[in-house]
Amino acid sequence: MSDAWQAAKLVIERDLRLAFRNRGQLLHPLLFFAIVTTLFPLALSPEPSRLRDVAPAVLWVGALLSSLLAIEFLFREDAQDGTLEQYALSGRSLTWLLFAKTVSHWLLAGLPLALMSPVAAYGLAVSPDAMPGIIGSVALGTIALSLLGAVSAGLTIGIKRGGALLSLLTLPLAVPLLIFGAQATARAIEGGNMAAPMYFLGAFAVLGITLAPLAAAAAVRISME
């Protein structure tokens, strides 16, 4: 088991180093999220009450679309340079290695989006008291999005310009996350009880951790054949 943890640690460290060498790819989803959440206040009435009403939808649609931009690069470069084939032939569990890659993807995309969400929420006239709840809901939701996206990315790595297909595969499955994530954010803004939608987001994340790495490994094997 220690060897598996060491292999996963090496995969995460490698992905983090490569990501920080290509900072443009790292910043692209964050800039897109910032642009989306900034345009809505400009297009709507500047009334704080109206901005707060649309804040949950704006934050979660922006987070979902930004995550899709990052998911496209999850396995693509490793498939092109032969790294995925080396993972499959290494004798290590491909499921475990792909799970490690998904963790590094969340650290690079999902966690920054969660930390950036209070800034976007502040621009939508959201009270500072709601910020911890917004960070928690977006962080939990993006975990499930990364795991879901890993399966779609595995299915599309052998397709040229598969970004559109990846979006078509992921978006319908991400609708429950969008619904419960927006509900959790709305309750955080209103000062209500967030327990129910957060439990649903947590259940999606646990289900994703349990099944998504297995499905992603099977998808990658199929794509490499």
> Three-class SS string for 168-179?
HHHHHHHHHHHH
Determine the 3-state secondary structure of 158 from DSSP.
Answer: coil
Contact 97, 22 (CB under 8 A): no
Domain range for 80 is 2-224
Please check the confidence at residue 196 and state whether its pLDDT lies above 80: yes
Average pLDDT over residues 60-89: 84
Burial of 160 (0-12, 13-18, 19+ CB in 10 A): exposed
Of 184, 177, 189, 88, the C-alpha closest to 136 is 184
Please state, rounded to an integer, the average pLDDT across all residues of the chain. 87
Please state the separation of Cα 186 from the chain's center in Å: 20
Contact 100, 78 (CB under 8 A): no
Please check the confidence at residue 1 and state whether its pLDDT lies above 60: no
Of the chain, the percentage scoring pLDDT greater than 70 comes to 96
> Can you read off the two tokens belonging to residue 18?
């490569």
Please check the confidence at residue 205 and state whether its pLDDT lies above 90: yes
Q: For residue 79, what are the contacts with CB-CB under 8 A and spacing of at least 6?
A: 157, 158, 223, 224
Q: For residue 25, what are the contacts with CB-CB under 8 A and spacing of at least 6?
A: 19, 73
pTM above 0.85, yes or no: yes
Average pLDDT over residues 76-95: 82
Q: What is the pLDDT of residue 48?
A: 82
Please check the confidence at residue 125 and state whether its pLDDT lies above 70: yes
Of 137, 111, 102, the C-alpha closest to 209 is 102
Please check the confidence at residue 58 and state whether its pLDDT lies above 70: yes
Most confident stretch, 44-48, 86-90, 148-152: 148-152
Over residues 148-178, the pLDDT tens digits come to: 988 888 888 877 666 677 778 888 889 999 9
Average pLDDT over residues 88-117: 89
Say what angle helices 131-156 and 94-105 make with each other, to 10 degrees: 140
Q: What is the pLDDT of residue 39?
A: 86
> Can you read off the two tokens belonging to residue 190?
């209103």
Q: What is the pLDDT of residue 161?
A: 64
CA distance 189 to 56: 8
Residue 183 burial (CB count, 10 A): 20
**Banded model confidence at residue 87, pLDDT cuts 50, 70, 90:** confident
Q: How many domains does the chain have?
A: 1
